[in-house]
Amino acid sequence: MTTPTPEPVRSTLKDNASPVAQHVACPFCGILCDDLEVSKSAKGLKVTRNGCDKAIAGFERHLPAATPLNGGKPASLAEAVTAAANLIKQARLPLYGGLATDVEGMRSVMALADVSGGVIDHALSEGPYRNFKVLQSTGWVMTTLTEVRNRADLIIIVGTDVHALHPRFFERMVCNQDSMFDSPPLKRTIVFVGSGLDQSAAVGARVGEVVTLPCPLDQAGEVIAALRARLKGAPLGAATIAGVLMAAIDDLARRCRKATYGVMVWAPPGLNFPNADLTVQTICDTVRELNATQRFAGLSLGGNEGAVTAGAVSSWQCGYPLRVSFASGQPHYDANRYAMSRMLADGEGDLLVWTASYTTGLGVPRTSLPTVVLGTPGLEMAQAASVFIPIGTPGVDHAGRLIRCDTVVTLPLTDLGRSVLPSASHVLDAIQSALQI
Ligand code: SF4
């Protein structure tokens, strides 16, 4: 019988009870590292352990002064909430976009969209949709960050710059010193399929060989398709596929067959080219076929700006992963019709309600629609909002929960007390209450 690992003690900086919070979960990318240490002083928050540049930029950002605005003029929170509710009441088809929030915020968005007959979609849903199309059609065999960390002996990074999107992925999941099952931990082989991918973090005692199959990123799927064919023993007449020597693809096929726990990793936001879902499909088909005789799995990263959380909450609340309209009084799903970028480009909807609580870069897109914006102070906006309400960042200004990119863990976020700004959930619930008055 093993002794259960004790739950880490999560401290809060809200009341200045302790100047340092440990085991802090970072909300600034989808892998949600939960080992950060953050201190608070009169100068603000400081990441004192385990933060990457992205985390430091997020936690240590000094918020500009911000107040609710109604028609560009300062207003109280109650006035701004009432003004937002009035705009929603008048709208025939409000669009709820951005959706960079936490579980609680997303639940509140869903409730408000439901009562107001609106449409929901996340600002970065193009990425997750490269996955959803595959998941909905054929399914997949997936693993978790923890399994990769402890078991994988062959890690194939396909067509995406994982290090740029998730700066500590290699440190925590690939190059980790300890393993739950092997002592000393086994070395693993890292394969990069694609040219120009940042390999600088694939170093250390856990890393054996690093292999590169250089090809244009939008042709990584072709290389995996050739690998799939060779794994089946199919002859391929070409000497190269997408610039990769067939001998290198055959070598990767041999490595796959020898692996005890192989994993193909991709980050859907990084597959930024037309029909990228076909690359995900090819990866998943190859993984599924390998499982006929051995253990192999996929791992999808991404999930920045709460994108995985928004998709998961939408799925469990209404059965569909975003791009849902409640205009008919019940959830109606259409991945093309309710893609918000398309709706805005085609002039559909008559009000945009935008929620962005993590970074200033997830600004409101240019639109001629009136806008209600719930945003972190400093949020970039293409035009002045009809109503602007500053909100806090989950895990920095207030507590919350986020779903990790592998969708198996919902992590609690610490209230670090950077500001007293309200949560998106608090504001959205207030708007919903004001709708019913
Ligand atoms: S890798 Fe992502 S989750 Fe981890 S500390 Fe950096 S931004 Fe935060």
Half-sphere exposure of 200 (CA within 13 A, CB side): 6
Domain assignment of residue 224, yes or no: yes
Q: Give the residue among 353, 355, 302 at the shortest CA–CA distance from 104.
A: 355
Residue at 8 is within a domain: no
Residue nearest to atom 4 of ligand 1 (CA): 33
Which residues touch 436 (CB under 8 Å, ≥6 apart)?
A: 115
Residues of the chain with pLDDT > 70, as a percent, come to 95
Q: Residue 52 C-alpha to ligand 1 middle, in angstroms?
A: 6
pLDDT band of 168, cuts 50, 70, 90: very high
**Is the predicted pLDDT of residue 4 greater than 60, yes or no?**
no
What whole-number percentage of the chain has pLDDT above 90?
A: 90
- Are 23 and 9 in contact by the 8 Å Cβ rule? The answer is yes
| CB of 55 closer than 6 angstroms to any ligand 1 atom | yes
pLDDT digits (tens, 9 = 90+) for 341-382: 999 999 999 999 999 999 999 999 999 999 999 999 999 998
Instruction: Give the H/E segment covering residue 253.
Output: helix 246-258
Mean pLDDT, range 137-164, rounded to an integer = 96
pLDDT of residue 356: 98
Q: What pTM was computed for the model? A: 0.92
Q: Identify the H or E element spanning 264.
A: strand 262-266
Given a contact cutoff of 8 angstroms between Cβ atoms, the answer to whether 9 and 283 are in contact is no
Q: Is residue 33 within 6 Å of ligand 1 at its C-beta?
A: yes
* CB of 264 sitting under 6 A from ligand 1: no
Q: Is the pLDDT of residue 314 over 80?
A: yes
> Over 50: is that where the pLDDT of 6 sits?
no
User: Are 152 and 223 in the same domain?
Assistant: yes
Q: In total, how many domains does the chain have?
A: 3
Same domain, 372 and 262: no
User: How many contiguous H segments (helices) and E segments (strands) does the chain have?
Assistant: 13, 21
| 11: pLDDT strictly greater than 70 | no
**Is it the case that residue 10 has pLDDT exceeding 60?**
no
When the pLDDT of each residue in the chain is averaged and rounded to a whole number, the result is: 94
Q: Are residues 135 and 272 in the same domain?
A: yes
Index of the ligand 1 atom closest to the CA of residue 52: 6
The answer on 178 and 289 residing in a single domain is: yes
User: CA-CA distance, 424 to 105, in Å (whole number)?
Assistant: 5
Answer whether residue 437 shows pLDDT above 80: no
- Please state, in angstroms and rounded to a whole number, the distance separating the CA atoms of residues 389 and 377: 9
What is the domain range of residue 35?
A: 20-59
What CATH number is associated with residue 348? Answer: 3.40.50.740
288 and 147 within one domain: yes
3-state helix, strand, coil in the chain (%, to 5): 30, 20, 45
